[in-house]
Structure 1
Amino acid sequence: MTDANPPVPNRITTARPENKMNDVAAQPDPGASRAVLIGVTTYHSPELDALPSVGNNIRQLAALLTDRELWGLPKKHCRVLRNPSRSEALDTIHEAASLAEDAFVLYYAGHGLVSTQNELHLALSDASSERLYQALRYDEVRSPIIDACSARSKVVLLDCCFSGWAMQGHMSGSARTLLLADHTSINGTYVMTASAETKLALAPKDERYTAFTGALLDTLSRGVPGAPDLLDMDTVYREVRQELSAKGRPEPQQRARNSGHRIALVRNRRGPSKPASGHLAGELPEQGAAPGEGTQERNSPSGRAKSGGSSKDWWKQFVLWMVMTLAAALIALVLATSLVFLTAWWALETFAPVTGLPALGIAATIALLVGALGALLLSRS
């Protein structure tokens, strides 16, 4: 299906935010912050493909934001909405935005729709190009961030596209996604989107996450070598862009206002004061259900399981078990040999005309033969 709204000329480029000399990245207080993560995985309209990887996106992102090593956002402050209704999504956004004091994070992943007025809509399950009223107009989402949110830092992350360009295995995309960044007249705000104009935002079927969010999760979880101990959004963006570009995938776009690029949500696992070791938090030993969800699938696309220590422990336990088994077998062999010796000596003394030292020697010989046979059988086993 073709998009009823053809792509507009390239008016927006990847802009590097102004860096001020006194800009210093600071991590928001997790206790005074809120996050709303919205993912739409299923659509009732046949024109919109299902996006199962989006469910993995929101679970993993919630795991990272609530990881105490990275930010430590309380789970009750991280609302995860999977396939929400319009009223549920808008009510949750408004409530979280009004409660946030230090930072507010909004993430959406799913299809994007564009009206004839070139307004971006975030598609919910019941939405379609014929039912835009079932989608979230970006202005509806943006309004509570402007009007109800007094947080010093606002971060908006959009992994979306337009249904008119939908392709098998892709989330359609267009330049208008970037227009929302120009519409963002919020102080201390940062916006990152999955793709530039006329580019596709990928959701490969054979990968656990969508392309953009997968690179974002990888950067947040592993850290950036050589970067400071706090990862500001500009550093995160450049690492994500580099990873996607290296794979030949659409490059993300960013826009910041009033030092929004210096917002640092997570700590750098590979910063100067930390050793180079990182893993995806939800690949994490699977932390159970992510905040706001009841169940969680196995999550390990690009994480690295820390198996070295557990293998060493297993080997130590195996060696200990072998030593204990061998010791028990030797003790049993000695006891059995002793029993054979005493039994043979008693039998010779009682029933045979052999007594004294001859009986003792014969009994010892029999016991040694039995012991040697037992040792032979033990060595073969």
Structure 2
Amino acid sequence: MSTGRRFALLIATGRYDNQALRQLRSPVRDAHGLAEVLEDPRIGDFEVGRVVDGRHHEVTRAIERFFLDRRRDDVLLLHLSCHGVKNDNGELHFATTDTDHRLLASTSVPAAFLHTQMRQCRARSIVLLLDCCYSGAFLPGSKGDTVVHLRDELAGHGRAVLTATNRTEYAWEGDRLDELEPQPSRFTGAVIKGLRSGEADRDGDGVIGVHELYDYVYDELQAAQVVQRPQMWAELEHRVVIARSVRGQRQEQEQEKEKGHGQEGEQKRGQGQGHEPVTPVVPVTPPPPVPSPGDGFSELVLIAELLSGLPCMEDVRSRAEFAMVLGEELSRRVDLRGVRLREDVATMARAAVRQKGGVRALLWTVELFEGGGVAAGLERRLGRGGNVVSAPAVPTASAPAVPAVPDPGPAGEADSGPALRSGSPRRSRKVTLFLRLTGELSTLSCMADPQGREQFASLLGEQLDRPVDLRGTRLRDDVVVIVRAALNAPYGDRVLAGVVRLFEGARAAAAVERLLDEPS
């Protein structure tokens, strides 16, 4: 769990004065159920605030206060369960009890207001859960398309946005809407279930990250054959943990309980025979079987698990860039759908495993995006030739799931030089140069902040006569984009050295030029 503080705000609006907005019965129950799991110190350990059936000025005040005076390492979670209404210009507003659909600007919570509060907040781990009935298409006189463009209106750096749907369709409240007892909505109900049971801990590491929670909710709604298709957009600096897994805690408690009963029984038997208490012998569980080198599916499963824990896999754009570079090394396209983390990772792992030398190309790509230490740790998990050597073929109840985050190796190795040296086949000239330039540029002072990298990329793009678009989220990701753009353009390597000279001086440029002139 994060070392920062953890705060949650739940906005639930089910009662509406305006007859054009249908009454909702699940929001209040959703807020109570979600608050229980988020407040539970064994699970979410959040400090939770609630606004139930509030008027627009009460909700906006609560939201502004929620994002005020936060620290960078705080984790903030905002849950909105209400109607989402589009105005005639297609702009999204969140309805409150007193919302008048003819006066949205003055009687609702504009998405633009929420975006501003999140942008001004210092916290860099903000999770937004939207369980909204986007009813704009059903209001008299409404105009525009049927899609709510949530990414454009609410996504941004340091945020993850999870929503029940992004179309103007009702978010299902339950199987039978005529029941007197309100049910949790499908989306929030799945969130509560995944956190309360611990089932959302997909990799079995004892905590539930935001991507794991989305994967779980998506699968739950698909299994229920609900029309809703949850959406997610994330631009996070690191893995954001929503909760601890109570499933792992229960297993530990049961093991301790069984161990205690065993010791007590041994002591009673020893005392009954007039002997001193006998120290029990705890049986040693044999290690899980090591898959054979030819077990291709085991290799695929492990590679996918390890990739899932890499920071460069946390959002869609990073995965797309990783897949593009990997595809160049494999000399074939690796096309991702960009919807679900697990699906994209499985696609990349499959592309690598199916091609001779593909796992090696995958490790080189990891080194580009994450550094030599992480790549070396991943290689140790796979074995020198890319074969599984340290994990069960498929996680089972008796064999814990493979940890998602690769072992970074000994202290200090995360920032070490090129990995994968021992026993590795000779790299191509381009791969070697790519790795060396990425490492060199990552140390430049002009790359230390997103604004500096953006200026560097802008000038480089002008000289290459092609745009060099950066995300500005992670240093390594941005440097990979810069180096790739230079190496894929005619004389781009020399242009790169010239831009380095402008930003860092002759000594830094000379170091880059030496790399360009060195034999591989």
TM-score range, shorter chain: 0.5 to 0.7
Distance 1:37 1:143, change over 3 A: same
Residues 226 and 270 of structure 1 are in contact (CA less than 8 Å); yes or no, is this contact kept in structure 2? no
Matched, 1:230 2:207: yes
Q: CA deviation at 1:111?
A: 0.7
For residues 225-374 of structure 1, the aligned pairs below 5 Å read 226-227=202-203, 228-249=205-226, 250-259=228-237, 262-271=239-248, 274-275=250-251
What is the number of equivalent residue pairs in this alignment? 237
Cα deviation for residue 29 of structure 1 reads: 4.2
Partner SS state of residue 37, structure 1: strand
CA offsets 1:65-94 (integer angstroms, 9 cap, x no match): 1101102223xxx21001112222122112
For residue 214 of structure 1, what is the aligned residue in structure 2? 189
The answer as to 2:64 corresponding to 1:87 is no
Corresponding residue for residue 11 of structure 2: 38
Greater relative contact order: 1 or 2 (C-alpha under 8 angstroms, separation 6 or more)? 1
Q: Give the direction of change, closer, same or farther, for the CA distance of 1:85–1:199 in structure 2 (3 Å limit).
A: closer
Identity of aligned pairs, percent?
26
Task: Using the TM superposition, give the Cα deviation of residue 185 of structure 1 relative to its aligned residue in structure 2, in angstroms.
Answer: 5.0
**Local SS of the residue matching 2:100:** coil
Deviation at 1:193, TM superposition (A): 0.6
2-structure distance, mates of 1:50, 1:143: 29
CA deviation profile, 1:293-314 (whole Å, cap 9, x unmatched): xxxxxxxxxxxxxxxxxxxxxx
| Cα distance in structure 2, aligned partners of 1:270 and 1:276 | 9
Change (3 A) 1:152 1:161: same
| CA 1:216–1:99: 2 relative to 1, 3 Å | same
The DSSP-based 3-state class of the residue aligned with 1:197 is: coil
Instruction: Read off the aligned partner of 1:150 and give its amino acid letter.
Output: R
Partner of 1:124: 96
Q: Of 22, 39, 42, which residue of structure 2 is paired with 1:66? A: 39
1:138 CA displacement: 0.6
| Secondary structure in structure 2 of the residue aligned to 1:104 | strand
CA distance in 2, matches of 1:185, 1:193: 11
Go from structure 1 to structure 2 and tell me whether the alpha carbon gap of 1:165 and 1:45 turns closer, same or farther (over 3 Å shift).
Answer: same
One-letter identity of the residue aligned with 1:100: R
Task: Return closer, same or farther for 1:165/1:79 CA change in 2, 3 Å cut-off.
Answer: same
How far did residue 164 of structure 1 move?
4.0
CA distance in 2, matches of 1:193, 1:276: 33
Distance in 1 (alpha carbons) for counterparts of 2:110 and 2:166: 19
- How far is 1:274 from its partner? 4.6
Tell me what 1:161 maps to. 133
- 1:46–1:198 distance in 2 versus 1, CA, 3 Å: closer
What's the CA shift for 1:115?
0.9
Match of 1:203? 173
Partner Cα separation in structure 2 for residue 50 and residue 198 of structure 1: 17
Amino acid at match of 1:255: W
Report the TM-score, using the length of structure 2 for normalisation: 0.43
**Alignment partners' CA distance in 1, 2:12 and 2:151:** 20
Counterpart for residue 186 of structure 1: 156
Provide the residue aligned with 1:99 in structure 2: 69
**Given the alignment, which residue of 137, 162, 178 partners 2:110?**
137
| Kept in 2: contact 1:34–1:97 (CA 8 A) | no
Amino acid at match of 1:156: L
Aligned equivalents of 1:195 and 1:266: distance in 2?
23
Structure with more of its chain in helix, by fraction? 2
* Secondary structure in 2 matching 1:156: strand
Q: Structure 1 residue 166: deviation in Å?
A: 5.3
Indicate conservation of the 8 Å contact 2:133/2:168, yes or no: no
Contact 1:269 1:276 in 2 (8 A): no
- In the TM superposition, residue 46 of structure 1 has moved relative to its aligned partner by 1.3
| Structure number with bigger Rg | 1
For 2:67, what is the secondary structure of its paired residue?
Answer: helix
Which residue in 2 is equivalent to 1:362? none
* Contact map agreement 1:34 1:99 (CA 8 A) in 2: no
CA distance in 2, matches of 1:251, 1:242: 10
The unaligned stretches of length 5 or more in structure 2 are 140-144, 254-520
SS at 2:66's partner residue?
Answer: helix
Matching residue's letter, 1:28: S
| 1:226–1:143 distance in 2 versus 1, CA, 3 Å | closer
Q: Tell me which amino acid in the other structure corresponds to 2:151.
A: A
Which residue identity lines up with residue 229 of structure 2 in the other structure?
Answer: E
Report the Cα offset of residue 233 of structure 1.
0.8
Aligned CA distance change for structure 1 residues 185 and 254 (closer, same or farther; 3 Å): closer
Retained in 1: the 8 A contact 2:136–2:168? no
Match of 2:81 among 100, 103, 109: 109
The CA distance in 2 between the partners of 1:121 and 1:98, in whole Å, is: 21
Query: How many Å separate the matches in 2 of 1:198 and 1:49?
Result: 14
AA aligned to 2:251 is P
